[in-house]
């Protein structure tokens, strides 16, 4: 298989990108000072891409691709990585899925072969589907037993409604029990095509060698007639996910209460946010850091330090291709829930009315800069940046460019984004020992 022309990607030194004739993209970043390498295969499919007959199929596949191929059993896959002290894992998100490994640089060819084999040649055997069904149901049950996870999931449902973005990534017990091997294999064949996949690698490596190994691994599986492997894709890679043909509004409001006999109330108060490419995202990031992003933030100081009402309180922002969400999480004693909620509402109103102080603006910028740079100090994070950027951004933004955007955020931009985003009507999710949501509805309306 002959690779297409190489080119630099995004202007970052050490980053190279090659598109193979079948549409598969290979992006690497050379880090000569390390002795390890991170390798990932990213699929441009997430839980929001599931139709009614495939709810939970994307995450189900994440499990099944570890269960065996034409060349390897499940034990062979795990033993191969254990034998070299490597890490092997995967995760499913709303808009993409990633299978990744981290190994010593000398073992990178093994990681490429194993992961490529898994992604291209999974058997999707009925016996494995049946076995993993129970495992996934246990995972759903485990998630239901974690109130801090459950409240965020409930908040997403309240904001996005009964849409793919509002449903759990894991699916539901009903959808997992109902889905068939044929439906999962159908999802696999349709979504795991070379043009919809991105190979990303970072660490001690040579780009041309990674391209050669990847091309050979995918070519080895392309002509096999068995299994449920992905069909040959078109020569042109799938475009980045910059929007949706069925855009989903993030405008849900009201209260969603999940009653649980637990010792703590878990609250998420928030609203719809913005798309990941929105120019206002840097101002929102600075605002979010100052309002609820650290120990010096307003929420931490007001709720925990001054009043001792909660152990954990923070604000967060999440973006998708065409919409997003913003919110505040707090965990507190049930008797303190309404007081904590009132304080959060007061702090939101204050920042909308007056914005941030000069010190808060500077701290917010510093927190964003530090978290960005420190978060890219290892090959795994660098690999993730490459793969995610190729799937969901117009280009790979150089780090220095992002830092400059953060540094340029002004008070006016922060006040505007506060009014436009966090000033929207709110949704509230509550998980705790409550039988009636009426008090929370009154508090939300006040």
Give the CA distances from residue 298 to residues 244, 266, 285, 422, in Å, rounded to whole numbers and listed in that order: 36, 19, 15, 15
Residue from 413, 270, 293, 412 nearest 364 by CA: 293
Q: Identify how many contiguous H helices and E strands the chain contains and give both numbers.
A: 16, 12
What SS3 string covers 12-34?
CCCEEEEECCCCCEEEEEECCCC
Residue from 125, 122, 106 nearest 114 by CA: 122
d(CA 390, CA 387): 5
For residue 225, the tally of other CB atoms under 10 A from its CB is 5
Backbone angles phi, psi at 445, to 5 degrees: -80, -15
Residue from 170, 165, 179 nearest 48 by CA: 165
Query: Residue 403: enclosing H or E segment and its boundaries?
Result: helix 399-407
- Give the SS3 label for residue 231: coil
d(CA 409, CA 138): 45
d(CA 394, CA 10): 10
Residues in the chain: 446
Backbone angles phi, psi at 240, to 5 degrees: -60, 150
Backbone angles phi, psi at 411, to 5 degrees: -60, -40
Q: Token digits for 253? A: 């409001």
Alpha helices per DSSP H over 242-293 = 281-292
Residue bearing tokens 């062979």: 76
d(CA 110, CA 118): 12
What order of strands is seen across the sheet that includes strand 427-432? 254-259, 427-432, 265-272, 324-332, 310-319
> Cα–Cα–Cα angle for 379, 13, 106, nearest 5°?
40
d(CA 417, CA 316): 14
- Give the SS3 label for residue 331: strand
* Residue 138 among the catalytic residues: no
- Give the SS3 label for residue 288: helix
Among the listed residues 50, 62, 132, 302, the single catalytic one is: 62
Which residues does the annotation mark as catalytic? 62
């Amino acid at each position: 298989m002959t690779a297409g022309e190489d080119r630099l990607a995004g202007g970052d030194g050490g980053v190279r990108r090659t598109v193979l004739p079948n549409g598969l993209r290979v992006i690497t970043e050379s880090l000569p000072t390390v002795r390890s390498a991170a390798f990932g295969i990213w699929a441009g499919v997430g839980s929001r891409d599931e139709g009614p007959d495939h709810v939970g199929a994307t995450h189900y596949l994440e499990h099944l691709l570890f269960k065996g191929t034409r060349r390897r059993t499940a034990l062979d896959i795990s033993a191969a990585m254990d034998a070299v002290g490597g890490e092997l894992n995967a995760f499913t998100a709303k808009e993409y899925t990633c299978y990744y490994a981290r190994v010593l640089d000398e073992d990178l060819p093994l990681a490429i072969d194993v992961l490529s084999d898994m992604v291209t040649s999974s058997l999707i055997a009925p016996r494995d589907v049946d076995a993993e069904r129970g495992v996934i149901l246990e995972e759903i049950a485990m998630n239901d037993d974690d109130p801090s996870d459950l409240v965020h999931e409930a908040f997403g449902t309240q904001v996005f409604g009964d849409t793919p973005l509002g449903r759990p990534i894991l699916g539901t017990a009903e959808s997992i029990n109902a889905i068939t091997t044929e439906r999962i294999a159908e999802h696999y064949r349709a979504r795991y095509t070379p043009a919809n996949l991105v190979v990303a690698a970072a660490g001690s490596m040579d780009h041309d060698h990674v391209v050669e190994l990847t091309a050979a691994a995918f070519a080895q599986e392309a002509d096999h007639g068995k299994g449920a492997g992905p069909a040959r894709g078109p020569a042109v890679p799938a475009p980045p996910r910059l929007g949706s043909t069925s855009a989903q509004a993030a405008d849900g409001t009201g209260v969603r209460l999940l009653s649980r006999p637990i010792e703590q109330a878990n609250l998420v108060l928030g609203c719809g946010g913005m798309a990941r490419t929105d120019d206002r995202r840097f101002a929102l990031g600075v605002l979010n850091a100052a309002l609820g992003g650290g120990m010096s933030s307003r929420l931490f100081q007001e709720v925990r330090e001054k009043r001792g009402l909660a152990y954990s309180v923070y604000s967060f922002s999440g973006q998708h291709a065409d919409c997003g969400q913003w919110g505040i999480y707090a965990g507190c004693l049930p008797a303190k829930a309404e007081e904590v909620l009132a304080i959060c509402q007061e702090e939101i109103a204050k920042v909308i009315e007056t914005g941030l102080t000069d010190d808060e603006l500077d701290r917010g910028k510093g927190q964003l800069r530090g978290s960005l740079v420190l978060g890219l100090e290892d090959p795994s994070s660098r690999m993730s940046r490459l793969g995610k950027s190729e799937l969901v951004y117009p280009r790979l933004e150089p780090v220095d460019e992002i830092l400059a955007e953060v540094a340029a955020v002004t008070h006016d931009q922060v006040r505007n984004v506060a009014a436009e985003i966090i000033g929207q009507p709110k949704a509230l999710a509550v998980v705790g020992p409550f039988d009636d949501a009426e008090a929370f509805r009154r508090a939300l309306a006040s």
